[in-house]
């Protein structure tokens, strides 16, 4: 009998159903991982599964050996706005982790901000077995700070959108109910002002905008009340007045 081939992937049996009847196993004849029918299999305490399988492609019967991938428990610090919490996840040792990407294999939308090794050294990317702590944020999409310039005043707003959406100079947007036009984009360490300069939302640090409608009809923050005279002298004065003030009515 030939020596067992290199470890292949075998589906882990459920606790209530220990028998496995099919698996993806490396076939020496096909020179690839193919679907197999498991004729015999036996599990060992170290997680190894050995047995006899028949390839569904070439019908060859051969021995196989498979070891379940080992998993690592990693501490996760989750930041959600002003609150933080600690939890743990178990990931396969060889699972790739990278700053800026989501934590793989978890239903939560967590985006990695920092990866710490067991000695506290930060890494930009690492295998799960090399990571001790992940610092993550709840990913609700790209949240971009927006500066809305209103003459001498600048209003601070925020735009939430998908990271893949492209935004450029000249685009018309609606941010928190304000119709605005993008006049500059801060991205990649520079401020871009040419019409057509565009970037994915995930790469944008800030948008500079102006109102599309000047002023927007019915907005109370654009209305100003006229000042009335506060003295007898100002009421009866005959000196030149501003065109915005009609002056006193005299016979």
Does residue 25 lie in a domain region?
yes
Both tokens assigned to 230:
């506060």
Run of H or E including 235: helix 232-236
Q: Among 138, 153, 171, identify where a domain stops.
A: 138
Report the alpha-carbon distance of residue 235 to residue 209 in Å, rounded.
43
Residues 186 and 175 in one domain: yes
Instruction: Count Cβ atoms within 10 A of the Cβ of residue 24 and give its class: 0-12 exposed, 13-18 middle, 19 or more buried.
Output: middle
Residues 60 and 77 in one domain: no
Does residue 155 lie in a domain region?
yes
Under the banding of pLDDT at 50, 70 and 90, the label for residue 17 is very low
Residues 87 and 76 in one domain: yes
Residues 105 and 161 in one domain: no
Does residue 228 lie in a domain region?
no
- Count, residues in the chain: 251
Does residue 243 lie in a domain region?
no
Residues 148 and 186 in one domain: yes
Q: Determine the pLDDT at residue 145.
A: 93
Q: What residues have CB less than 8 Å from 92, skipping those under 6 apart?
A: 69, 70, 71, 72, 105, 128
Q: Among 23, 53, 68, identify where a domain stops.
A: 68
Does residue 233 lie in a domain region?
no
For 33-37, 54-58, 136-140, 175-179, which range has the lowest pLDDT when averaged over its residues? 136-140
Q: Determine the pLDDT at residue 234.
A: 52
Stretch 115-141: mean pLDDT, rounded? 90
Residues 117 and 170 in one domain: no
Does residue 23 lie in a domain region?
yes
**What is the span of the domain harbouring residue 39?**
1-68
Check if the beta carbon of residue 171 is closer than 8 Å to that of residue 204: no
Does residue 75 lie in a domain region?
yes
Residues 171 and 128 in one domain: no
Does residue 239 lie in a domain region?
no
Number of domains in the chain: 3
Both tokens assigned to 42:
């036996």
Residues 206 and 174 in one domain: yes
**Percent of the chain residues topping a pLDDT of 70:** 75
- Phi (first) and psi of residue 130, to 5 degrees: -95, 0
Residues 85 and 131 in one domain: yes
Q: If we measure between CA atoms, which residue out of 216, 182, 215 comes closest to residue 201?
A: 182
Run of H or E including 153: strand 153-161
Q: Is the pLDDT at 106 greater than 80, yes or no?
A: yes
Q: Among 53, 68, 83, identify where a domain stops.
A: 68
For 139-143, 187-191, 219-223, 243-247, which range has the lowest pLDDT when averaged over its residues? 243-247
Residues 64 and 6 in one domain: yes
| Alpha-carbon separation of residue 214 from 148, 217, 219, 223 (angstroms) | 13, 8, 11, 12
Residues 22 and 45 in one domain: yes
Report the alpha-carbon distance of residue 135 to residue 137 in Å, rounded.
7
**Tokens 């990693």 correspond to what residue?**
74
Q: Determine the pLDDT at residue 24.
A: 85
Q: Is the pLDDT at 225 greater than 60, yes or no?
A: no
**Tokens 């996760």 correspond to what residue?**
76
Residues 42 and 60 in one domain: yes
């Amino acid at each position: 009998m030939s020596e067992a081939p290199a470890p292949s992937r075998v589906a882990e049996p459920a606790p209530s159903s220990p028998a496995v009847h099919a698996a993806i196993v490396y076939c020496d004849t096909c020179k690839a991982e193919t679907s197999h029918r498991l004729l015999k299999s036996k599990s060992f305490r170290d997680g190894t599964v050995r047995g006899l399988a028949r390839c569904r492609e070439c019908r060859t019967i051969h021995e196989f050996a498979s070891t379940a991938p080992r998993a690592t428990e990693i501490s996760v610090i989750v930041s959600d706005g002003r609150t933080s919490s600690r939890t743990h996840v178990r990931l396969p040792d060889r699972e790739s982790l990278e700053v800026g990407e989501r934590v793989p294999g978890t239903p939560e939308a967590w985006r990695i901000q920092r990866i710490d090794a067991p000695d506290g050294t930060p890494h930009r990317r690492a295998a799960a077995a090399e990571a001790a702590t992940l610092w993550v944020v709840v990913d609700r999409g790209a949240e971009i700070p927006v500066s809305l310039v209103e003459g001498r005043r600048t209003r601070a707003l925020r735009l939430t959108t998908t990271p893949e959406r492209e935004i450029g100079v000249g685009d018309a947007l609606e941010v928190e109910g304000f119709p605005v036009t993008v006049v500059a984009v801060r991205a990649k360490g520079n401020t871009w002002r040419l019409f057509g300069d565009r970037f994915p939302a995930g790469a944008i640090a800030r948008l500079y905008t102006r109102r599309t409608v000047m002023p927007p009809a019915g907005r109370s923050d654009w209305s100003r009340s006229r000042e009335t005279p506060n003295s007898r002298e100002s009421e009866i004065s005959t000196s030149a007045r501003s065109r915005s003030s009609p002056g006193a009515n005299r016979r």
